[in-house]
Amino acid sequence: MFSLAGLQVSNNHVLGLFSGILGWIFAWYSLVLVTADVTAQQFPITPTRDQYWGILFAVILGLVSWLQRMFAIQGDTSEQGSKKETLADMLHESDDE
């Protein structure tokens, strides 16, 4: 486990990042295949220069969405562990009201 920009990152998180980016790359290439010329009989389709810009955009989106999820899951580091509340505690509080 290591720390990255205030986040506690484990090997599972890194594996999630790489598998997520791989998913974005597959989605990008599926768009390349779908938008290919109908008469083109070759496979694999070679992406155009503009489509290569799309792969860069896809990888950046994958990284940003992973960071967003990581911050949403872990929250503020100063508040982590400060209030341990379980589902049973929340249900008990609602019964008291």
Q: Is the peptide bond before 44 cis (omega within 30 degrees of 0)?
A: yes
Higher local confidence (pLDDT), 49 or 82: 49
Domain limits of the chain? Answer: 2-96
Higher local confidence (pLDDT), 71 or 6: 71
Q: Which are the contacts of 51, defined by CB distance < 8 A and separation ≥ 6?
A: 28, 32
Dist CA 91 CA 75 (whole Å): 23
90 pLDDT more than 80: no
Half-sphere exposure of 20 (CA within 13 A, CB side): 18
78 pLDDT more than 60: no
Q: pLDDT tens, 15-71? A: 888 998 899 889 988 988 888 887 877 777 888 898 899 899 888 988 888 888 887
pLDDT of residue 67: 84
In the chain, alpha helices (H):
11-34, 49-74, 87-96
Rounded alpha-carbon distances, angstroms, from residue 21 to 38, 56, 70? 28, 11, 15
Task: Tokens 């594996």: give the residue.
Answer: 15
